[in-house]
Amino acid sequence: MYFTQCADAKVEALSDSLQTTMAKWKGHIPMPLPLELYTSSTFIGLFVEEQMAEVLKSFAADFATEATSKADVHVEPHKKQLHVTLAYHFQASHLPVLEKLAKNVDASAGCDWLAVLLSRDIRFANHETLQVLYPYVPQNDDELELVQGDFIFMSPVEQTTASEGWLYGTSLGSGLSGLLPENYVSRADESDTWVVHGSHSFLNCASPSTSGSTVGGLLFDGQLNDSLLDSFMDPSSLSGLCPPMQVSRPSGQPSLSKMRMFVCRHGERMDVVFGKHWVTQCFDSKGRYIRSNLNMPSSLPARSGGQRDYDKDCPITVFGSTQARLVGEALLESSTTLDFVYCSPSLRCVQTAHNILQGLQQEGKTKIRVEPGLFEWTKWVSGTCLPTWIPPAELAAANLSVDTTYRPHIPISKLAVSESYDTYISRSFQATREILTECKSLGNTVLIVAHASSLEACTRQIQGLTPQNSKDFVQVVRKIPYLGFCACEEMGDTGVWQLVDPPILPLTHGPNHSFNWREMLMHD
């Protein structure tokens, strides 16, 4: 199996090319094709014996020639080892069972082989394919109507717009895009959405579904994989499906409450955009910072430990600053005033908080309290030591609105390298609880600017919920974008909090690749 790009108008000529090639080779490929079983720790398959593989490669080369002649389509002749994949990327414990099943396949039995021409929409080549299990009627304008049996294309890049339990995808049937409940769809094979334009038998037999013979041919890698093992062993396991969970989304504005807390992720970070070696590229031999891209800050705060401290404590980009100011401006438009601002000691968080205050026109009026207890899970820090953060006094000297008199609830000395998940969750809960206690009766609204993990770690337990397991926690964190923003409010004086709609809209942006005019526009 191989792919090539082809305009829709040329598909018919390409199909004719395959038919011509089949007519030329009819009777020249001996049947049955000799196959050999091959197994390894991660792969089980049937390979065409070397001598016959060369014959099939000659067939593919002839088809490539016909495609160029009749359809003006360039097709790369197939050169890889020809095989049928039976199982791929399975768990090691399943190898004995899968190997036993594979050995029961009679590779010498007579079968038909097919040459099939299929097409797929190139726009969705890198998307995951899902199938709709249950119909869904949209409750909001940004949601997608689901029709049972339809297919949904989902790109990982687009999931930054979706909240927990929701996905963002595009319908195959309608072509529309929007949010959809995750438990209304299931994973499907990519090939389920491909269009068949021609299927030609090497034996010229009837349709495989009515001939009674086994069908081989251009099979897709991974058609039988570990996820299918249980149903392969026990067909009755597919006898029923669970009904959909009740879907609910918060609506309306939060009611007036005694206290509100916002938790926000920092803005776009330098090392993600420009790579982990950006420091060596942006500082000269004398330690002077020189930016090489408009999205790099025009200047950086001085560090007593030198520029190498930026390796583990990077700043935000220019666009990261813009993101933060947009959030601040939106808070201003919603008539929101921040009484207290706390942030992680990471420079990217301090800069984000500072720019939010700028957009809110509270810069200088409200000072940022740097709280080490809000730092992310230290297991995610590379190396054997924590970052060397810029002290509050030096941050203030760099014109960042930092409160130099604030005494942290959890000092840096209490943070441990490679802490356990339970320790991180406990630390985040302690820091959040003590921040809220400190601010109670002194103000109505608290903003915490920290990390993607903070939106979950700082809000879950104050709602009276138990922490998730670490695996589910990581899955939630991966979906939270830069400036991801959530809101909690206290339910009276009960000490219990609930998540509510934020007073601002979400912020979405797409990837924008670096542009080099010399490479793109100068040609010999």
DSSP category for residue 68: I
Q: Identify whether the C-beta of residue 442 lies closer than 8 Å to the C-beta of residue 403.
A: no
152: tokens are 């949904």
Three-class SS state of 89: coil
CA 270 to chain centroid: 19
Angle at the Cα of 390 from the Cα atoms of 386 and 393, rounded to 5 degrees: 140
Q: Is 509 a catalytic residue?
A: no
Instruction: Single out the catalytic residue among 127, 269, 451, 460.
Output: 451
Q: Position of tokens 């001598």?
A: 51
Which H or E element spans position 508?
Answer: none
* The pairing of beta strand 340-343 with beta strand 368-370: parallel
Distance between CA 225 and CA 218 in Å, rounded? Answer: 17
Longest dimension (CA), the chain: 89
DSSP characters over 348-379: HHHHHHHHHHHHTT-BTTB-EEE-GGGS--GG
Instruction: Single out the catalytic residue among 127, 265, 303, 409.
Output: 265
Instruction: Single out the catalytic residue among 200, 260, 266, 409.
Output: 266
Query: What helix, strand, coil percent values describe the chain, rounded to 5?
Result: 35, 20, 45
Q: Identify whether the C-beta of residue 70 lies closer than 8 Å to the C-beta of residue 18.
A: no
Q: Identify whether the C-beta of residue 149 lies closer than 8 Å to the C-beta of residue 131.
A: yes
Q: Identify whether the C-beta of residue 287 lies closer than 8 Å to the C-beta of residue 306.
A: yes
Q: Is the dihedral of CA 508, 511, 512, 514 positive or negative?
A: positive
Q: Position of tokens 């670096």?
A: 514
Name the residue among 133, 124, 196 with its Cα closest to residue 156.
Answer: 124
Q: Identify whether the C-beta of residue 510 lies closer than 8 Å to the C-beta of residue 319.
A: no
Length of the chain: 524
Distance between CA 107 and CA 490 in Å, rounded? Answer: 67
The type of residue at 515 is F
Q: Is 265 a catalytic residue?
A: yes
Name the residue among 322, 360, 355 with its Cα closest to residue 504.
Answer: 360
C-alpha pair distances (Å), 414 with each of 25, 389, 402, 420: 75, 15, 21, 14
Name the packing angle between helices 11-25 and 50-66 (round to 10°): 140
Q: Position of tokens 């509100």?
A: 260
Active site amino acids = 265-266, 451
